[in-house]
Structure 1
């Protein structure tokens, strides 16, 4: 150690600018690497936490895929409306389930003005629980609302703000879906008015795109007669479900669902389970996972390349050291020093320079973390609906940064030592 300190002081005295710039370059490379690793980690953690929060959401249908990529449902369904309760009670993986009915409603009328609707569904009381969406104004859908088919509607907070200015202003407002013909007369249409009973939080952009979460939900029973005929109709239409599972294995959940269906309805039931939206499989989730993974890997590779480039200064110093100390090294070898000892000396010297730079790099990354990592907040907010809470550098990023800095510096610093110990000692002394 005394010799290394002596070497540092000697080089500092001879070339203070070069040593300072080399250490600064390593510090910048290490700091950038730590920040890039931390950025990649934040992106992965934030996005993955939304995609797999409390498990996974899957679509379930009584049917099979058609040639057009759409589900061809069994009509009438091979199970009944009680499938929802049976999946939750008999399955070991399903925590929530909701009946869903795709509704051909593309606009709503409010006070005589029509507004286009992005997505609407008929469903039951568990729909919001499946997607972990809370009521922000008004009341939740109750069993009474569902069982009696009351003309009530629930809308997202974003929809409420667009149509009525705020969630509170939306409560009690009358909404009318498209009228349907009730007689032979072309002008004889039935118009239903639904009252806004509640407003639920707007889902994250990731969840909305991946699952096509509805902006407007109706009790599916509100579209059907309240008598026994309505119940039979509900059984007939109960072919689409959305479920939430604590498990993150689609294969395991699928096997569990098939087992419950077979136990309650028989073995010859067509059951299709997929990750996506009610209308069919979606590649959005898989593409997003791949994009996040590629982004994270790319940022880390960029950081490593910058660190490697910044460590070239150590290589330059060691080259000068090897050329300038040829006679001294030859004398050391003549006095008994082995080639390995000389190489080790160069390695320790380069590692010391790298370590000093790495320590400064840690300080820089900590000082700049809030500013640099905070710039990702708009991106995270756009995708997940939440801003970054913790913008500090990650411990594993610090350890990785220091480790890679020492590895790069040590490797580049030791390379010139191999030429320094080559040749016969007497020949080197004569040449020197």
Structure 2
């Protein structure tokens, strides 16, 4: 069985390993246009900020490892055509410009995503950078050496993490986002406002609710001014972090896709063409809170989907369990976790919800120290099914978000969580765990509304 894998970051690396483990006789050919694989882009801010000194630690695999497992790995090869009728792939060697065409029995599309580049006047000026891969991370580090004023466009996770990295390294930082709050995809307003106050106290200039309309450059072509409808902001360096789009042009019109180009797959990672599998940032995921297909580019989703391809390559063996889009963030000492929908974005998923909010200490006050935990539980009206949650504290409560993710995946209700069995030990928690208390606050809210 001939298997061709196009793209080898998280989903591709996971798929190759899983295919070779489950089908040791498969002839696996991998095409990757970059000179590296498996780079953890979530570590870029740590690398930029100097927390990670050796970037080698941000790679969890390499071409040599995949070759040792039996794959034919072709680095710096750009696939230029996929013929789904004759089942062939044509790739060009980026060093020699020579092309080759190989046949396949099964095709794996793990081509990932690319940063969204908006159509803004001056977007091509020097020192306007993207933040996605290892090479881009190195460019950011090099350019930042000569920059005093750094502008981040986009207040999602990557943008916020870069803000922290540049603040810690002594830069003057401006953060711009078209929405009115930072991290609005992950956090409701009461949480984002706490972080916004923190950012302002750290000297960050927040420009929220405004979009960039133009970039201006100096006589050398380097960006020196960012223009919004209400402001003109001086800058030495701009990093665009406004989101990602799936890289799926090779299969356009050949398999079913969402309007944004994300490839639709079934629970076994098959596309509408049963001999073509897809995983990772190029692919939709099943979003459990709303029971719909969504585009949620996360490394965690990618590695799970890639693993499933190996299991299901020749027959349906292991189905995808879906995702809650669970994520965590560390920002200036705050530990933040979110899973599922927020109260604000639930309507976009056609969910009719309520939310309960609670602040409480994570362990008893008689202990020498404790920390306040800020919590929100989002639940469906009528059924009381849990569909989202957010936690934030100076104490590390992020693993509790994994607990809430599991609650959403298993369709647990507010009543279930209110009485779930959690241990008690004063070093760690209260007789009622703070998750119990959060659900009980929701129960009181439900009773009061009747």
TM bucket normalised to smaller: under 0.3
- From the two aligned structures, give the one with the greater strand fraction: 2
Larger-gyration structure (1/2): 1
Higher relative contact order (CA 8 A, sep 6+): 1
Q: Give the TM-score of the pair, scaled to structure 1.
A: 0.21
Q: Give the TM-score of the pair, scaled to structure 2.
A: 0.20
- From the two aligned structures, give the one with the greater helix fraction: 1
